[in-house]
Amino acid sequence: MTTSTTFGTRVQSGVPVQQPSPMPFHRYKAFEPVDVPDRTWPSKKITQAPRWLSTDLRDGNQALIDPMTVARKLKMFDLLVSMGYKEIEVGFPSASQTDFDFVRRLVVEDRIPDDVQISVLTQAREDLISRTAESLVGVKRANIHMYNATAEMFRRVVFGIDEAQCIAMATRGTEMVMKYAEQFLGETEFGYQYSPEIFTQTPTDFAVEVCNAVADVWQPGPDREIIFNLPATVEMSTPNTYADQIEYFIRNIRNREFVAVSLHPHNDRGTAVAASELGMMAGADRVEGCLFGHGERTGNVDLVTLGMNLYSQGIDPKIDFSDMDEIRRTVEYCTGLPVHPRHPYAGDLVYTAFSGSHQDAIKKGLEALEKKAASEGVSPHEIAWEAPYLPIDPFDVGRTYEAVIRVNSQSGKGGMAYIMKNDHKMDLPRRLQIEFSRVVQQHTDAAGGEVSPEQMWQIFEKEYFGDHTPLELLQYKSEADNGHYSVDAVVRVNGVERPAGGEGNGPLSAFVDALGAAGFPVRVLDYSEHALSSGGDALAAAYVEVEVGDGDDARVLWGVGRHSSIVTASMKAVISAINRADRN
């Protein structure tokens, strides 16, 4: 029985039933995967980093609203080198004078470290290939990377060629690459990479056939590898399908031992990282991508996420991500595009917890780590990482714990207590945490937004130290006689100074007795204290839970005091509770 209707949904017998969308989904057809029933990749594990190639300066650059200037390209190149990338595609030199000049500058100014191999991309066109080879004159090591489209739709729509002509374009292009390499690159340690463009939409058998034909021209062998780069030029299927295609290709390509199988996933479906990882499980040796996933449309696979995913599994990515913020700033400068605040491992908010239960768990987790490290006599950054909600130690990528927990209206006592302890050295007892988190919550509910550590301190000061009425302690003298204490104090009550004296079995109980005599009956229910700093003039903090007043009017609340004398701090804490009771 239909009971109610909401947008696009009818509720039947209490269960919402989704309705057909008005969108023309029938215009699209499901991807036809290659059939690999005996696939082995699902039970494989990734145990080491692949060879990486950064294509930030080519695929990443060609997709920018404002392509990088030479100065920005140089900055990006230096960043990639400093991070440890050893294979860097530096451009498409036949595309523009800027690209050509950039490659020349790298070569002429000897900016390429000996252990770094640059590569350059070209179409399978003789004029472009010769210009590409010319751009590399004098370089020590380089790859030329040539591509042509092999997918049926591209052959039909873009090129108007059949399969044989497509193979001929690839083999002829390879011959041209070898010819111009010989002409221009005699002294260069020269390598070759071929991409059957839109590999994923190419029947995998045909992709293998084209690549085998290209290899017949290049003749790979010992010390003469060929790189077959297998792009998901447009990502069109689930990542397992890509892995099947890679496993199938690897099983069928000839001379596998001299072939480097490279992945080049794009992110149209948002699963490029997964596709790369499954492709690595399927046996690929190498991955091409861009930092933070720049590149055509939705971008290339994100090298930062891929590398850090390995890191989080205890595998050395062979790339240095330890100053993530500097990497992010440089890429943002070079590309002119911001990195999303929730970008894995690098975004502004990814090591931040706002919600109360997350903060509580993180606080406990970090404290447990600190305790464990202290018991082993080492720093918390040296022991095995284990913390709720944080897949890696933010410290490892240059983030500090201070930014981990941030407080807004979604937060609870855990986050507030973490900031009070970490930023302000105040280790609040649990029930005071609960009390103060309500105070903070009132603030966030009223003002909205976030409460910074500084604002939190202001709220705390105002709440616990801000009031001197009705009661203020001006001075006191305490004496002890055989376990018996007396206090002679001067207090100000509603602006009027008056003496207050009392006795007890400790200075605080004597002070409480004096307050009772002065008209402020209180009972101390709980008490804790700790040092705030070390040294001769060290400050101490005292926290007291106090029942203020008596009879039906009695209220239980906390007071806080700080002073270099712990006795004075505790007396101030009692007064803080009395003044709060009066105010509230």
Ligand X SMILES: CC(C)C(=O)C(=O)O
Q: Which does 158 bind (CB under 5 to 8 A by kind): ligand X, ligand ACO, none?
A: ligand ACO
Pick the closer one to ligand ACO by CB: 147 or 485.
Answer: 147
Q: Give the contacts of 280 (CB within 8 A, at least 6 positions apart).
A: 46, 50, 263, 287
Position among 61, 148, 233, 330 found at the interface with ligand X (CB under 6 A): 233
Q: Which does 87 bind (CB under 5 to 8 A by kind): ligand X, ligand ACO, none?
A: none
Q: Please give the size of the binding site for ligand ACO, defined by CB under 6 A.
A: 16
Q: Give the contacts of 204 (CB within 8 A, at least 6 positions apart).
A: 34, 245, 248, 249, 252
Position among 148, 229, 240, 579 found at the interface with ligand X (CB under 6 A): 229
Contact flag: residue 195 with ligand X (CB under 6 A):
yes
Question: What is the C-alpha to C-alpha distance for residues 335 and 582, in angstroms, rounded to an integer?
Answer: 59
Contact flag: residue 56 with ligand X (CB under 6 A):
no
Choices 88-96, 385-393, 517-525, 535-543 (CB under 6 A): range interacting with ligand ACO: 88-96
Q: Which of residues 543-572 bind ligand ACO (CB under 6 A)?
A: none
Rounded alpha-carbon distances, angstroms, from residue 174 to 88, 131, 219, 553: 21, 15, 11, 93
Provide, rounded to whole angstroms, the least separation between the CB of residue 197 and ligand X. Answer: 5
Q: Which of residues 117-146 bind ligand X (CB under 6 A)?
A: 121
Contact flag: residue 95 with ligand ACO (CB under 6 A):
yes
Tell whether 424 is in a known binding site.
Answer: no
In 3D space, the residue among 258, 206, 207 whose CA is nearest the CA of residue 231 turns out to be 207
Tell whether 467 is in a known binding site.
Answer: no
Provide, rounded to whole angstroms, the least separation between the CB of residue 123 and ligand ACO. Answer: 3
Q: For the purposes of burial, counting CB atoms within 10 Å of the CB of 423, is it exposed (0-12), middle (13-18) or buried (19 or more)? A: middle
Measured at the CA of 154, the angle between CA 148 and CA 155, to 5 degrees, comes to: 80
Q: What is the 3-state secondary structure (H, E, C) of 257-305?
A: HHEEEEEEEECCCCCHHHHHHHHHHCCCCEEEEEHHHCCCCCCECEHHH
Q: Which does 271 bind (CB under 5 to 8 A by kind): ligand ACO, ligand X, none?
A: none
Alpha-helix runs per DSSP H in 32-96 = 61-62, 70-83
In 3D space, the residue among 356, 347, 470, 373 whose CA is nearest the CA of residue 407 turns out to be 356
| Residue found under tokens 């409480």 | 512
Q: Which does 229 bind (CB under 5 to 8 A by kind): ligand ACO, ligand X, none?
A: ligand X
Contact flag: residue 264 with ligand X (CB under 6 A):
yes
Contact flag: residue 147 with ligand ACO (CB under 6 A):
yes
Q: Please give the size of the binding site for ligand X, defined by CB under 6 A.
A: 10
Provide, rounded to whole angstroms, the least separation between the CB of residue 267 and ligand ACO. Answer: 13
Provide, rounded to whole angstroms, the least separation between the CB of residue 175 and ligand ACO. Answer: 14
Binding map of ligand X across residues 57-96, x = CB under 6 A, - = no contact? --x-------------------------------------
Tell whether 294 is in a known binding site.
Answer: no
Q: Let me know: does 271 contact 200? Beta carbons within 8 Å.
A: no
Type of residue at 202: T
Residue 485: strand pairing partners: 480, 504
Contact flag: residue 150 with ligand ACO (CB under 6 A):
no
Rounded alpha-carbon distances, angstroms, from residue 400 to 185, 324, 380: 49, 12, 13
Contact flag: residue 143 with ligand ACO (CB under 6 A):
no
Question: What is the C-alpha to C-alpha distance for residues 235 and 297, in angstroms, rounded to an integer?
Answer: 11
Count of H helices and E strands in the chain? 17, 17
Position among 41, 49, 59, 60 found at the interface with ligand ACO (CB under 6 A): 59
Contact flag: residue 231 with ligand X (CB under 6 A):
yes
Binding residues for Mg(2+): 59, 264, 266, 300
Binding-site ranges for ligand X (CB under 6 A): 59, 121, 147, 195, 197, 229, 231, 233, 264, 266
Binding residues: 59, 264, 266, 300
Binding-site ranges for ligand ACO (CB under 6 A): 59, 62, 92, 94-95, 123-125, 128, 147-148, 158-159, 197, 233, 296
